[in-house]
Structure 1
Amino acid sequence: MSDSGTDFDPVGVVIDWLDACRQRRLVDLLELYADEATLDCCDGGRFVRRSGLLRYWQGKLQAATSAAFELHEVLPEGDCVILDYLDYDGTAAQTKFWFDEDGKISRTRCTPLGRAGLRSNAA
């Protein structure tokens, strides 16, 4: 995903992000983001830089349900990675991740999918 020669695995970064969320490791989660990262939330909010991300994630991780951050699918697509999962409150969500040349998350944008929005692997 980078033309600068920096080698990183964007899907691996997304899995690390999900693990940090699942384990409520706020410091590790914030380390995955670039200094100037933006987070566009599905409720219309925009959170910018470390201070904004801290405000956003601190509350979400504290309020997370036991079903939160369950992985359903992760796929690279064009210049981003798409993650389908259960959000902090257990609802189905999709987040798109973009990265900088250093392999840090530069931008995320989430979209709610609703409780029935994820494909079930149990058929």
Structure 2
Amino acid sequence: MSGSGTDFDPIGIVIDWLDACRERRLEDLLPLYADQATLDCCSGERFVGRPGLLCYWPAKLRGAIEPAFELNEIHPEQECVRLFYRDYDGSAVSTKFWFDAGGRITRTICIPLLGAG
């Protein structure tokens, strides 16, 4: 995403996202998303907008186990940022993040990393 003309730090936003998840701070997590953001979960479910995020996140944050939201790697890609980390249940996942011009998350796609322990 370097040279994209953005006035925000997409990796910094993903780190803020990870910190809010790790610390179970829904009130800090939700404002990182655009109003009509989509969240595509590893389970194949899609959650849209604030109502969708409120359906998805509270239970995930409450049910998070100790190694949840542990950072493994983070990489800028051409149109997004890709985060490798431990999901709320400790499983290894990769999530791609896309942003609007204001630096809010417009879309995430979570991909399970099979065979990663």
Structure 1 length-normalised TM = 0.89
Query: Which structure 1 residue ranges, 4+ long, deviate > 4 Å from structure 2?
Result: 1-6
Q: CA deviation at 1:27?
A: 1.1
Q: Residue type matched to 1:35 in 2?
A: D
Q: Distance in 2 between matches of 1:54 and 1:13?
A: 20
Q: Distance in 1 between matches of 2:92 and 2:44?
A: 17
Match of 2:58 in 1: 58
Q: Note the residue ranges of structure 1 that are not aligned, 5 or more in a row.
A: 119-123
Residue pairs, 1:6-85, within 5 angstroms: 6-85=6-85
Match of 2:113 in 1: 113
Q: CA deviation at 1:57?
A: 0.4
Q: Note the residue ranges of structure 2 that are not aligned, 5 or more in a row.
A: none
Per-residue CA distance 1:35-55 (angstroms, 9 max, x = gap): 010000111100000110111
RMSD: 1.8
Q: CA deviation at 1:117?
A: 1.9
Structure 2 length-normalised TM = 0.94
Does the Cα contact within 8 Å between 1:84 and 1:94 map onto a contact in 2? yes
Q: Percent identity?
A: 66
Q: Distance in 2 between matches of 1:112 and 1:2?
A: 26
